[in-house]
């Protein structure tokens, strides 16, 4: 059965490049990103892991733990990490899970038989501090992911978790947001004393709340 937004992210134990972890314990109280790779020494994955390592300070700033997953053995990860550093100019600085038997990939429905019955597609899961799936994105194996977009979505998820707002099309942190329809004008006056711009009764634009 596919994992849906709002589901509890499946727990698992696995060996990683930073030691053995139990997933729920490792991410406890944090936001997390879990993303899959078909196997080690694949070209697109090499670029993705290198770029994500460069973005690690941005994930840290948002309190997000990042984990990669490769359907390969732990002993193969060290050599691949060296290749990533050599070709991408940065060290692997987050755990890379060794899922050599595909157990975790199957729990997260990362293997799509119509695409390939053994290799994972490029799955991305964003998981909240409540251990529920907040976002899932799937790319074909031939297409590298956009991790700047993953950060943008995390900014939106964290903001909308704190305030009763939604983010409009192409929104970036610092831009105006939308007051959700569930908030009445009366309640909005208390929440947003600086006021808002009403385009339609259901479309009320307000500066991004702080905090």
Which residues are catalytic, by number? Answer: 45
Phi, psi of 209 (to 5 degrees): -65, 150
Going across the sheet that includes 177-179, the strands are 165-166, 177-179, 203-206, 197-200
Query: 3-class SS at 200?
Result: strand
Q: Bridge partners of 37?
A: 70
Phi, psi of 185 (to 5 degrees): -60, -40
CA distance 58 to 45: 20
Burial 7-26 (b: 16+ CB within 10 A, else e): eebbebebbbbeeebebbeb
């Amino acid at each position: 059965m596919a994992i849906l937004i709002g589901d509890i992210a499946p727990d698992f134990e696995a060996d990683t490049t930073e030691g053995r972890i139990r997933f729920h314990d490792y991410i406890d109280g944090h936001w997390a990103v879990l993303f899959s790779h078909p196997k080690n020494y694949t070209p697109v994955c090499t670029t993705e892991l290198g770029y994500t390592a460069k973005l690690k300070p941005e994930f840290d700033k948002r309190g997000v733990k990042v984990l990669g997953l490769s359907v390969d053995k732990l002993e193969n990860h060290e050599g691949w990490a060296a290749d990533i550093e050599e070709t991408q100019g940065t060290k692997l600085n987050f755990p890379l899970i060794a899922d050599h038997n595909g157990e975790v990939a199957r729990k997260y429905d990362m293997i799509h038989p119509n695409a390939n019955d053994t290799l994972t597609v490029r799955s991305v899961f964003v998981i909240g501090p409540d251990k529920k799936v907040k976002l899932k994105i799937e790319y074909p194996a031939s297409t590298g992911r956009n991790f700047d977009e993953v950060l943008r979505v995390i900014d939106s998820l964290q903001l909308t978790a704190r305030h009763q707002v939604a983010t409009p099309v192409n929104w970036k942190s610092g831009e105006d947001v939308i007051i959700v329809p569930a908030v009445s004008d009366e309640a909005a006056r208390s929440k947003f004393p600086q006021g808002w711009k009403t385009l339609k009764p259901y479309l009320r634009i307000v500066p991004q709340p702080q905090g």
